[in-house]
Amino acid sequence: MKPLKLLAIFVLPLAIIIAAVPQNKTINSTRIAANDLLDDFNSKTQFIAPDAVADMIVKKDPALRLIDIRSQAEFEKFSLPGAINIPIADLLSDQYADILNQDVKTNVFYSNGTLAANEAWMITRQLGYKNNYVLEGGLNYWFDAILNPQKPVSTSPDEEFAKYDFRKGASQAMGGGGAVTAGPAQSSSAPKPAIAPLPKKKKAAGGC
The domain ranges of the chain are 30-173
* CATH assignment, 30-173: 3.40.250.10
In the sheet that holds 64-68, the strands lie side by side as 47-48, 132-135, 106-110, 64-68, 84-85
* pLDDT (0 to 100) of residue 35: 72
Name the nearest CA neighbour of 138 among 43, 61, 69: 69
In this structure, of 11-20, 57-66, 103-112, 177-186, the range with the lowest mean pLDDT score is: 177-186
What does the pLDDT average to over 142-153?
Answer: 93
What does the pLDDT average to over 68-92?
Answer: 96
- pLDDT of 43-69, one tens digit each? 788 999 999 999 999 999 999 999 999
The packing angle between helices 3-20 and 34-43, to 10°, is: 130
- The C-alpha atoms of residue 208 and residue 198 are separated, in whole angstroms, by 23
- The C-alpha atoms of residue 121 and residue 129 are separated, in whole angstroms, by 9
By the 10 Å C-beta count (0-12 exposed, 13-18 middle, 19+ buried), 169 is classed as middle
* pLDDT (0 to 100) of residue 39: 72
